[in-house]
Structure 1
Amino acid sequence: MQHSTKSAFTMMDGTEQLLSTEITKSCQLGKPLGLGPSAYWKCSGNRPGGPAADGFALSIPRPASAPSQEFTLFHGFALRLKQPGLTVTRKLQSSAWPNYEIEDQFPVTAIHYLDKELPFDLKLESFSPFTPMNEQESNLPVLICSCQVTNLSSSPMDIDLLCWLQPGQKADNKVMVLQKKWRGIQQVHSNNNTSFQHCLSALRNDARLFPHFEEDSWEDYFELPGAECTANDTPGIAVCSSIQILPGQHATCHFAISWWDPAPGLLLPNPAPFTSATDVMAYVSDQLSKLIYQTMLWKKNWVDSSLPSWLLEQTFTLEQYQHDLTGNVSEGETGLETVAISPAVARLYPNTAKSFVQLYELPSVLPTHQKDHDSPSFTVVKLQALSILHTYRAHQLSEDMQFLRVNWAQLTQVIQFMLNHAEALYNATGEQGQKLEEVLWLCITAAKSAYQMAMEMDSHSLADRCMQFISPIEKKISANYKFEQEQEAFQYLCKYLAAKNWSQQLNLGQLSNQSPPDDQRLELSGFILRKLTDDNSPPVNYETIEQWAAHLMSEDQYQESLLLLKRYAALRSQCGQVKNILVQSSPVINSCNSYNTFLAACGFSYHGPRGFIRFAPITSQDNFKAPFLVANGWGSYKQQKKHRKQVHELYIKYGHLKVQTLSFDVEQPGNIHIATVALEGKKVPAKLTKEGNSVFISIKPTQVIANQSLTITLT
């Protein structure tokens, strides 16, 4: 049997964890705001007091103010085949099938159930709608399950597909049967003066409904006509679809589970005007074709790459271990609150990133008490530096200057406070202390971001102030690479890398002119690998692994970076969670992770307001392909080199790209003299300039829309 260890949701088996993604959520966050509600589907082990069974476990974290902190639902499937002389009934669980294969490509998990003795092929695809740049439809509280059956025989076959839900806790249940163009059952749980709704539907109008379902008798329901009445205190609910499939043909049945939690406390409100689980289901029914198409389009775009598939996969799955997947509320030692979202989420949903910065981060880091002005703490300065970095990232992910202009007055205050506070800490503490140095590295990176934004806003006095801060301090502090002697030095290096990788992510250039020599670099990589398996070593935060891997990528050490990441992924796959890894990453230094490693591998840089985009992959330069995201769209980048000719293609799959400067690396700049740019075959006037091994192509402001390609040929 084949099975995967990572997915957007999790299937359960009594003896095996088919898909063992573990995602930790803060109950204060309420609904998901990033990788979609599928993040709530996880492996919860066997049901308390019940038999081991495959199915999905849905655990909904709720606000801390809610009387009940979590609702859990268990979900399963069964199938019946009828042909003349043949009847087969089976649950869709691993113990009922001789073999199965799992194709796990975020955000879709497909399970292919295999039995050579049966005359049909069965495939189940499950996902929550996921479309980068589309926060509303990526935040729908629904799981869609599409079951495709192919008739491999020479006779027609009748197929019945049964789908059920059972609550994982006792509650006062009220079930309502819904008669719409789709047919489904809404169940309302009431417990401790709170309520939670979910709706189970076969997205067709001829399904049979069972408002009172008991799993122990699941086979009996294939023979029952269904019920058209409400029920109270039911143990479970089920729906059944019946289809006939001709020889050599296939058919797909779509099921969906929606939920609605009226409890307040969301950081951002649900953008859709839903008031119940049935409202969600009605929207999904109306938009089903589009939701499936866009989700599958992203999945295909993401995996169609020359980069290793496991690296692309863990770009999201490793990130899911971070508590800031959908936003992280952290309280510093001064009582300041900040909200941060992870790099992948910020790039998948730039509008959400900008809202977080504008509504939460910038207001939260301005000192509100005189003591914060006079006696700044390390935490205050860190939070101010991070808010500046997050603002610059959000600005880069905009198409124009509007976001920066709107927030400039408040941002200017944050920059001034950070510079003054950092200098005060430095003067008070001198050059002593690891904690001070790690703050200063972060502040230097933030000041470089502030300098860039000040120049764009024509605030030359603030830009000069930033340079006055950067120059003297950067000369006095330096990274300490004596990691093999002291754990403290090793941890210090990790904090330096956090700032260094921020600099790489935002295209700010080298943080310093120091980099570990080859022997020390290899020694540090070996040191980290040993720490993963040495029970006597202090545990290392997994973010350290990602930061060092991203650093190696940016230094063109591609194979060494992959070795480190693959070793960690293998260890985690073998034992679920590596024993000697601290999973919870720092909410303050949260900066670079698996997504930044991906960016480094692609050599990707983007600045929306400038219309600038750059690709400089560090591997497979002769035939490279990878997905990319910009301010209002996403697509695929491809480059090919042959002899003295290079061809670069940007193909937009969703949204659009506005561009006026493109940059690429070439091995021999002296052989490149002409840049030919074409949009859908129509030539665009272009000007070529060179700087070192990089070429820059300037064109008039051009918009590339979905299903269009921009091709650049260098000769």
Structure 2
Amino acid sequence: MTELASRSLQTGQHTAGYTYSAQALRHVAMPLGGIGAGQIALGGDGGLRQWQIVNHINHLGFVPHSFFALRASCVEPPLNEVRILQSRELIDLPEDHTPLVNDDYIPADQRALLQQFAGVEQTEFTGKYPFARIHYKDAKLPVAVQLEAYSPFIPLDARNSGLPAIVFTFTLRNRWSHRVHGCLGAALQNAVGWDGITPISGNRCHLYGGNSNRVQRRTNYTALVMENPSLADDHPGSGQMMLTSLTPGTGVYACWSEPAQFMRFIDGFNPGSHYNEHDHRHTHFDRNGQAPSRGTSPQGETWNGGLLAPFQLAPGETSQITFILSWHFPNRYVNFDQFGPRRDYGKSKFWVGNAYATQFADAQEVTEYLIHNQEKLETSSRRWSEEIYRSTLPDWLAEAIAAQGTLMRSPTCFWAEDGKFFGFEGSLGASTVMWNADFGGSCPLNCTHVWNYEMALSRLFPDLERSMRETDFEHVQAPEGYIPHRTVLPLYLPQFWGTPIGGPHNPALDGMLGTILKTYREVRQGAGLPWLERLWPRVKKLVNYIVTNWDENADGVLEGEQGNTYDIAFYGPNMYIGALWLAALRAAEEMATIQGEEELARQWHQLFERGSARYDELLWNGEYYIQLLDPAAPPEDQFGTGCLADQLFGQWWAHLLDLGYILPEEHVKTTLRSIVRYNLRHGFEGFEHGYRVFADRDDAGLLVCTWPQGGRPEIPVRYCDEVWTGMEYQVGAHCLMEGMLEEGLSVLQALRQRYDGRRRNPYNEIECGDHYVRAMAGWSALEALSGFRYNALKDELRFTPARTLSRDMRLPFITGTGWGNFTLIKNDKETHTTLSCAHGEIHIRELSWSSEESQASVYLQGKQLATQADWQQGVLSVTFAEPIILHAGKILDIVSTN
């Protein structure tokens, strides 16, 4: 076994999370904020950047004068230390440019702040998504300071995972032998009216003016409410921001223009008069502080505001201070270019709205909801995080799986006021400036062929995923039956019917095939029979359209122009389209059976069998599947005898949907070995990329296509020399499903080593833009390791890994109604298996798992249940006499023996 794979086998419980320090902090920036609610990234140095809360995508968006600061003092011996809670370490590092990424960008105003005022010496960032922890290191500070920031993230609870807010909790511990007092400051600029794109200099921007900050005091919080009453209700920038402290005795500096004013305010803090341990009702910050500014800001300027939370700590004592940053910008419009020919719709703004605005009237309501439900939201979010990081996954893979949640909560995705969920392919950024721009959405919208790879959203928030299928069939599908691969918003506008689309030119065939597969996935996940009944006529129309237009001779092999995710079309039989087609036929067959259309199911199965045999006969070359070129078609952008990394994409889908092998098993495994052998490259020095550079220097990565037997076309398939994370996740996970542990881990670890913080952000896997949704294929790696499969139609739950990382296993899982963990511990005499539910409820009629034993005793909360056991080919299945519902907090215990 290789050294790389050997290191990959290190497993255990990593409850502390995954830690980045020194140069690995350079690119770390975890996006925080709710689903479709806007995001702010917390950098590895403790700085806030990538401000994208006002309904526009701008990876370099920055709101100055928004930071945290600390003052710690001691009377005897005399000490007074003031720090900006951000490290200078990254600023002092020599520049080291990485192609097509800019997560290491530190805005000029943030640099200036640290040049004017002292920052801490170092930081250490620990990711445990949705939690980010910053450990501030400074030898001169008498207190140890740690920040934990998060936005609630609770799988299956989209509403509570979509809050436009971030909670910042600081833990202060007095490490001196003397009493220490001081204050923790939070500063925020009133950005109401900003468009998210126009640069801000200090507190000045031509979009500012008329901004106001007002103080809100309640028994359980003190807040600054930031507004701009001069804006019309329908203005894109109209809204509200709110900075809140939960610490009694918090002082307020409501309106200031320069950080020096706020820092001077901190200097004037006197704990003797500002902090009373027995009576926190009154504070007197005006005694030493500046007179507060009042009124609205002048044209071209805004107000900054700040809160000071006091503390006093005896030696060894610990205290916590919590701030909440919330926002409310309800006016989302179509502010992105839509592919296809330009259409003139006059002066309409095309309202889209935000889902969170239907739940909350303003930022104050968001904050009060968070405060009222703080314990429940934090506990549930932490429980999910613990399920991942307490697993037996290798630490780097646990971090990768947890980070899948950042993609659906990134600016790439949004959740409209009508409840429908939408997503670009990615967010325009450094990887897109050569063809478009560095702000806005990349390649709108709901691109079917890129979203074909997504597995994380469908598992974590299946109701949002179902809305995308409803959009596909009920709004985008053409009367003839085909589905264009892009959606036009608002949905009442004409869709891309009979018009050029872009990427590719005509409706993408792989996207249509994926839509069939995704529909069946949603049915298995728990969409319900009425939901399938509602969409079924449209699904049949789509399948029939594909047969009519690409399989005229009914041999099961699709031919002609086959538009696809490479933004081109393949011509001639190829396994990339072929395997997707075979899997889609099987999925359609299963849905026909569910609908009671047995004859149709039989016809589609026969077509599948013909197609499977014919594809294998035509394309198998002894090592992998090739493409048969169509001599009558354009020769450009084809791969011919090449080894396409994605050629078994359809088999990956088939395994995840329990559809079995769609091609001969040995050919599948041999093909995967060939893909890893020929396409996984170690080191890119001197490599000719041709277009975009997603791997360089000593990186390892899986190339899209290679020609190990020669025959590379003069103009090969587009993007052949690139490395795509979504494809790597798909291939790596597929290897794991086939029991090829070393091959699968080598691909996956190559990916994550590129995104280790040093040269790329572990929370931003890029392709054609930042936060690229193809990367949500990563969720399949977890299900590949656990062998997890779930069918809500039959309440069947299965854990049958082809090969595990260790003898014992603890892995999280999620069904459509609940989530928890599956644990398996073996000894010489028996195997102990537990299934616990941490959230929601899990419906089980039949439970199966890999087992050497053939008998099982099953207990629910200590009470033995009546079951019938069946052991076949290494899989033990127990069927319950009465279907059970495993509620949150309950555990199913199983002891299996021979």
Instruction: Please give the TM-score of this superposition, normalised by the length of structure 1.
Output: 0.84
Shift of 1:311: 0.7
Q: Residue 684 and residue 11 in structure 1: after superposition, are their counterparts in 2 closer, same or farther (change >3 A)?
A: closer
Kept in 1, the 8 Å contact 2:243–2:323? The answer is yes
SS at 2:255 equivalent: coil
Q: Residue 155 and residue 371 in structure 1: after superposition, are their counterparts in 2 closer, same or farther (change >3 A)?
A: closer
CA deviation profile, 1:256-288 (whole Å, cap 9, x unmatched): 111111213448723752122222112112222
Kept in 1, the 8 Å contact 2:644–2:675? The answer is no
CA deviation profile, 1:72-121 (whole Å, cap 9, x unmatched): 46631111223332332222112333443322111111112234554432
Matching residue of 1:638: 823
Kept in 1, the 8 Å contact 2:456–2:776? The answer is no
Kept in 1, the 8 Å contact 2:733–2:780? The answer is yes
Kept in 2, the 8 Å contact 1:316–1:344? The answer is no
230-239 or 364-373, larger mean C-alpha shift:
364-373
Shift of 1:155: 4.3
Matching residue of 1:106: 129
Shift of 1:441: 2.1
Is 2:613 the partner of 1:570? Answer: no
Shift of 1:316: 4.5
Is 2:859 the partner of 1:678? Answer: yes
Aligned equivalents of 2:605, 2:667: Cα separation in 1: 26
Is 2:377 the partner of 1:291? Answer: yes
Is 2:558 the partner of 1:393? Answer: no
Residue number among 472, 480, 492 corresponding to 1:361 in the alignment:
472
Aligned equivalents of 2:80, 2:446: Cα separation in 1: 65
Aligned equivalents of 1:640, 1:502: Cα separation in 2: 30
SS at 2:184 equivalent: strand
CA deviation profile, 1:640-680 (whole Å, cap 9, x unmatched): 111241111111111111101111112x4xxx332111111
Residue number among 83, 88, 101 corresponding to 1:90 in the alignment:
83
Matching residue of 2:386: 300
Matching residue of 1:219: 263
Aligned equivalents of 1:589, 1:295: Cα separation in 2: 23
SS at 1:565 equivalent: helix
Residue number among 240, 260, 270 corresponding to 2:308 in the alignment:
240
Matching residue of 1:506: 657
Q: Residue 123 and residue 231 in structure 1: after superposition, are their counterparts in 2 closer, same or farther (change >3 A)?
A: farther
Matching residue of 1:49: none
Aligned equivalents of 1:259, 1:554: Cα separation in 2: 43
Q: Residue 293 and residue 525 in structure 1: after superposition, are their counterparts in 2 closer, same or farther (change >3 A)?
A: same
Kept in 2, the 8 Å contact 1:541–1:583? The answer is yes
SS at 1:687 equivalent: strand
**Where in structure 2 are the equivalents of 1:321-360 lying within 5 Å?**
327-328=422-423, 340=451, 342-358=454-470, 360=471
Shift of 1:563: 2.0
Kept in 2, the 8 Å contact 1:63–1:264? The answer is yes
Q: Which runs of 5+ in 1 are unaligned?
A: 1-6, 26-30, 46-52
SS at 1:512 equivalent: coil
Amino acid at match of 2:366: V
Q: Residue 56 and residue 691 in structure 1: after superposition, are their counterparts in 2 closer, same or farther (change >3 A)?
A: same
Is 2:206 the partner of 1:175? Answer: no
Aligned equivalents of 1:589, 1:209: Cα separation in 2: 41
Kept in 2, the 8 Å contact 1:622–1:642? The answer is no
**Where in structure 2 are the equivalents of 1:416-495 lying within 5 Å?**
416-424=544-552, 429=560, 433=571, 437-478=575-616, 481=623, 488=639, 493-495=644-646
Is 2:24 the partner of 1:20? Answer: no
Kept in 2, the 8 Å contact 1:97–1:114? The answer is yes
Q: Which runs of 5+ in 2 are unaligned?
A: 1-15, 89-118, 192-198, 270-284, 334-351, 415-421, 426-440, 485-496, 500-504, 563-569, 628-636, 690-720
Q: Residue 307 and residue 212 in structure 1: after superposition, are their counterparts in 2 closer, same or farther (change >3 A)?
A: same
CA deviation profile, 1:154-207 (whole Å, cap 9, x unmatched): 544323110112356212222222233321112235788742421111124531
Kept in 2, the 8 Å contact 1:484–1:524? The answer is no
Matching residue of 2:784: 600
Amino acid at match of 2:223: G
Kept in 1, the 8 Å contact 2:413–2:424? The answer is no
Q: Residue 231 and residue 616 in structure 1: after superposition, are their counterparts in 2 closer, same or farther (change >3 A)?
A: farther
Matching residue of 1:28: none
Residue number among 305, 329, 332 corresponding to 1:261 in the alignment:
329
Q: Residue 701 and residue 420 in structure 1: after superposition, are their counterparts in 2 closer, same or farther (change >3 A)?
A: farther
SS at 2:606 equivalent: helix
CA deviation profile, 1:7-66 (whole Å, cap 9, x unmatched): 99x9999x995552487x9xxxxx9637x75x54266x9xxxxxxx852125226557x9
Shift of 1:469: 2.4
Is 2:262 the partner of 1:210? Answer: no
SS at 1:540 equivalent: coil
Amino acid at match of 1:413: K
Aligned equivalents of 1:644, 1:417: Cα separation in 2: 57
138-147 or 120-129, larger mean C-alpha shift:
120-129
Amino acid at match of 1:78: A
Shift of 1:551: 1.7
Kept in 1, the 8 Å contact 2:164–2:327? The answer is yes
Q: Residue 588 and residue 124 in structure 1: after superposition, are their counterparts in 2 closer, same or farther (change >3 A)?
A: closer
Matching residue of 1:690: 871
SS at 2:858 equivalent: strand
CA deviation profile, 1:405-426 (whole Å, cap 9, x unmatched): 3433443433433444442495
Kept in 1, the 8 Å contact 2:171–2:320? The answer is yes
**Where in structure 2 are the equivalents of 1:122-137 lying within 5 Å?**
122-137=145-160
CA deviation profile, 1:230-266 (whole Å, cap 9, x unmatched): 5433442111111233443322111011111121344
Aligned equivalents of 2:28, 2:398: Cα separation in 1: 18
* Larger relative helix fraction: 1
Amino acid at match of 2:390: D
Matching residue of 1:379: 507
* Larger relative strand fraction: 1
SS at 1:59 equivalent: strand
Kept in 2, the 8 Å contact 1:200–1:256? The answer is yes
Kept in 2, the 8 Å contact 1:388–1:450? The answer is yes
Amino acid at match of 1:219: M
CA deviation profile, 1:444-475 (whole Å, cap 9, x unmatched): 21121122222223221231232132111111
SS at 1:496 equivalent: coil
Matching residue of 1:77: 68
Q: Residue 674 and residue 17 in structure 1: after superposition, are their counterparts in 2 closer, same or farther (change >3 A)?
A: closer
Kept in 2, the 8 Å contact 1:177–1:229? The answer is no
Matching residue of 1:143: 166
Kept in 1, the 8 Å contact 2:240–2:329? The answer is yes
Aligned equivalents of 2:747, 2:481: Cα separation in 1: 47
**Where in structure 2 are the equivalents of 1:517-596 lying within 5 Å?**
521-530=672-681, 533=684, 535-537=687-689, 538-573=721-756, 574-576=758-760, 583-584=767-768, 593-596=777-780
Kept in 2, the 8 Å contact 1:42–1:59? The answer is no
417-426 or 288-297, larger mean C-alpha shift:
417-426
Amino acid at match of 1:614: R
Amino acid at match of 2:457: V
Aligned equivalents of 1:510, 1:108: Cα separation in 2: 39
Aligned equivalents of 2:842, 2:132: Cα separation in 1: 29
Residue number among 877, 882, 885 corresponding to 1:703 in the alignment:
885
Q: Residue 528 and residue 301 in structure 1: after superposition, are their counterparts in 2 closer, same or farther (change >3 A)?
A: same
Give the superposed CA RMSD: 4.2
Percentage of matched positions with identical amino acids: 20
Instruction: Please give the TM-score of this superposition, normalised by the length of structure 2.
Output: 0.68
279-288 or 187-196, larger mean C-alpha shift:
187-196
CA deviation profile, 1:354-407 (whole Å, cap 9, x unmatched): 22222x122245323599999999735433322221111111221853433343
Shift of 1:348: 0.7
SS at 2:580 equivalent: helix
Shift of 1:148: 0.9
Aligned equivalents of 1:198, 1:512: Cα separation in 2: 56
Larger relative contact order (C-alpha < 8 A, sep ≥ 6)? 2
Kept in 2, the 8 Å contact 1:12–1:56? The answer is no
Aligned equivalents of 2:65, 2:27: Cα separation in 1: 15
